[in-house]
Structure 1
Amino acid sequence: MTDTNNSKLDTVLTAVLANRVDGIVREMTNTMLKTARSAVINSARDFSCAIVTGTNELFACAEGLPIHIFGTDLQTKVMCDNHPDIAEGDCYLHNDPYSGNTHAADHAFMVPVFFEGEHHFTAVAKAHQADCGNSLPTTYMSMAKDVYEEGALIFPAVRIQRDYKMVGDVVNMMQKRIRVPSQWYGDFMAGISSARIAERRLKEMCAKYGKETIKTFITSWLNYSEQRMVNAVRSLPAAKLENHGRHDSMPFLPEGIPLQVKVMVDPDSAYIDIDLRDNIDNVDCGLNQSEATATSAVLAGLFNSLNSDVPQNAGSFRRVRVHLREGAVAGIPKFPHSCSVATTNVSDRMINLTGAAFAQLGDG
């Protein structure tokens, strides 16, 4: 075992460990792809994997869908807040759009990774389900007036394994409500297995390099990522940008949804502010964004406008301040407004609106 108490790692070891963690995320991804039973996962690849630090900062998300992943830290924080007795061998299911998840159809499997008694990481595997218990046989209920009409089973970071053993009551309850119980159970086990693979590999990495080296690496990598973002922001001109758009009208929403994004780029302080607070209030249908998708959408639009070599993690996110309002259609949803379609429709438009706002800065 190699261990070091140095406050800063050399660049070679930092690069080795960063690529090792990315490799672990890709192994999670391959596990999910090869073992899931439903076509929405094993063919459409509507899933993402990530590693979050023990202090709830997004650390690695190779190959993940931005709308799934950029808000993962919100979910792991809820896990830690709700379970002061969190322990090695636990696994949690989280699909609550009112406490950090994207929408109810995305089931996130979260495994806290302990080494020598300390919680260093959380492995997260998130996958869209073929059925999530909605009142109608669809996972996208755009017409649902609220979460009750939507009808999905909601699990706000519920423990599904304790000491590596299944909590059978949760499984039994879900199988009674899911329309394709055997297919769902296959996807359920694929999600757990994907997160457990990461747990095993991260523990091996900690054992090889020592926990102090890993702690130093976490800090160093996030600080390095922040510095890369500082450089990227300082390469941009100072600007105040604004962009407007609209979601199409629908039978239950004849006026559509007006949308807007405001951006301020301050190269001197190396911060970007993205403000969604002036968007309209929640609508009485399933098109509302969740906090996770509202944040992820504008971050995706931003990172699409930067060089691809800026790491996408909590370090670079430190330089972006996203301003949201509770009760806004593009913001933090006010319960019980439905977020059934939070990952597409309005989110797609907010990604494009944000990217188009940055395009006003000019070519390149």
Structure 2
Amino acid sequence: LFDADGNLIANAPHIPVHLGSMGESIKEVLRRNEGTLRPGDVYAINDPYHGGTHLPDITVVTPVFDEGTLRFLVASRGHHAEIGGTTPGSMPAFSRTVHEEGVLFDNWLLVRDGQLREAETRELLASAPYPSRSPDTNLADLRAQIAANEKGIAELRRMVGQFGTDVVTAYMGHVQDNAEESVRRIVAGLQDGSFRYETDGGAEIRVTLTVDREARGAVIDFTGTSPQQPGNTNAPRSVVMAAVLYVFRTLVGEDIPLNSGCLKPLDVRIPPGSMLDPAYPAATVAGNVETSQAVTGALYGALGGQAEGSGTMNNLTFGN
């Protein structure tokens, strides 16, 4: 659940790399469709350069209107078992461009006026350089995501019906303010730190934490990180933001929901053109699953917080 500005309010309690990065997708949909979003629209996005993570992860976004005004957005993200690419399962080990990894959904209008654009979406799935091997499955999964959003909207409308729009909107602000204050209290007790994390491929992730105790905020600077890699270990900005959100949420001992308020005390600086902010058409399929873990490890190293485990997401991929 997101507010009208695309800030994360509430989410399912799992898969932090999905949850923390979804807000980037939502804000991209808002930015690129400003003034044209309308009731009955649903968008799909997996574009790693505009809020996505890697191509198998498709985010389905449904805006929620009340008397013509955009009030909320509901979204679901699912890893599709097959979205094209050079190998079944869409997780090729040796991809060097995003097109080798599957079908790109770039701000894709999936539903208009409540009608699924099935023919157009099927054509998109079939016309990529390395098309989907199972468009029927993709369409079924996309329908499931649309339905999941509709369930969320029904529950949201039930809540608004019980408490009123003003109360619900106010509490959406309260949960973010509470999360912000919880993180600020933690940040005020942190020390400056830095860490250099070398990946198996020889690339480096560098991060420096600078704490402003008076403001109870911190700068997290990834300057010095290796440039965009020729392989597929590049992690989009959204993945890095997800790792930051996750790490600082784990520092809070209280039972607070993961939401955008956790990021407000943090100024995150990611050098463009680095392996943590790659440019099109960089390959990213391993950045989401492997580099995200390395970024998390580097952040814990800079915090002096805890040792890392295996430093991998331990994926098992099976295709067709």
Instruction: Give the shorter-chain TM-score range.
Output: 0.7 to 0.9
Q: Which residue of 1 aligns with 2:135?
A: 181
- CA 1:140 to 1:74, structure 2 compared with 1: closer, same or farther past 3 Å? same
Q: Which residue of 2 aligns with 1:334?
A: 279
- CA 1:317 to 1:66, structure 2 compared with 1: closer, same or farther past 3 Å? same
Q: Which residue of 2 aligns with 1:147?
A: 98
Q: Which residue of 2 aligns with 1:156?
A: 106
Q: Which residue of 2 aligns with 1:57?
A: 7
Give CA deviations for 1:87-112 in whole Å, capped at 9, x if unaligned.
11111101000101111110011111
Q: Supply the AA of the counterpart residue of 2:164.
A: G
Q: Which residue of 1 aligns with 2:196?
A: 244
Q: Supply the AA of the counterpart residue of 2:165.
A: K
1:120 to partner: Cα distance: 1.4
Give CA deviations for 1:65-123 in whole Å, capped at 9, x if unaligned.
11111122211121122223111111110100010111111001111111232211111
- CA 1:349 to 1:138, structure 2 compared with 1: closer, same or farther past 3 Å? same
Give CA deviations for 1:292-351 in whole Å, capped at 9, x if unaligned.
011112332333333252442111210111111110012x21112111222111111111
1:268 to partner: Cα distance: 2.1
1:136 to partner: Cα distance: 2.4
Aligned residues: 302
* Whole-angstrom distance in 1 between the partners of 2:218 and 2:10: 22
* Whole-angstrom distance in 1 between the partners of 2:221 and 2:284: 20
SS in 1 for 2:286: coil
2:253 corresponds to 1:276: no
* Whole-angstrom distance in 2 between the partners of 1:202 and 1:115: 12
Identity of aligned residues (%): 21
2:203 corresponds to 1:257: yes
* Whole-angstrom distance in 1 between the partners of 2:303 and 2:27: 31
Unaligned regions of 5+ residues in structure 2, if any?
Answer: 308-320
Say which of 163, 184, 199 aligns to 2:153: 199
Residue pair 1:244, 1:259 contacting (<8 A) in 2 also: yes
- Taking structure 2 as the reference length, the TM-score comes to 0.88
* Whole-angstrom distance in 1 between the partners of 2:199 and 2:140: 36
Say which of 121, 127, 150 aligns to 2:72: 121
Q: Which residue of 1 aligns with 2:316?
A: none
2:131 corresponds to 1:131: no
- Taking structure 1 as the reference length, the TM-score comes to 0.78
Residue pair 2:206, 2:223 contacting (<8 A) in 1 also: no
1:223 to partner: Cα distance: 1.8
* Whole-angstrom distance in 1 between the partners of 2:29 and 2:95: 28
Give CA deviations for 1:110-149 in whole Å, capped at 9, x if unaligned.
111112322111111001111111132232234212223x
* Whole-angstrom distance in 2 between the partners of 1:298 and 1:142: 26
Q: Supply the AA of the counterpart residue of 1:55.
A: D
CA RMSD across the alignment = 2.0
* Whole-angstrom distance in 1 between the partners of 2:254 and 2:61: 28
Unaligned regions of 5+ residues in structure 1, if any?
Answer: 1-50, 250-255
* Whole-angstrom distance in 1 between the partners of 2:156 and 2:251: 32
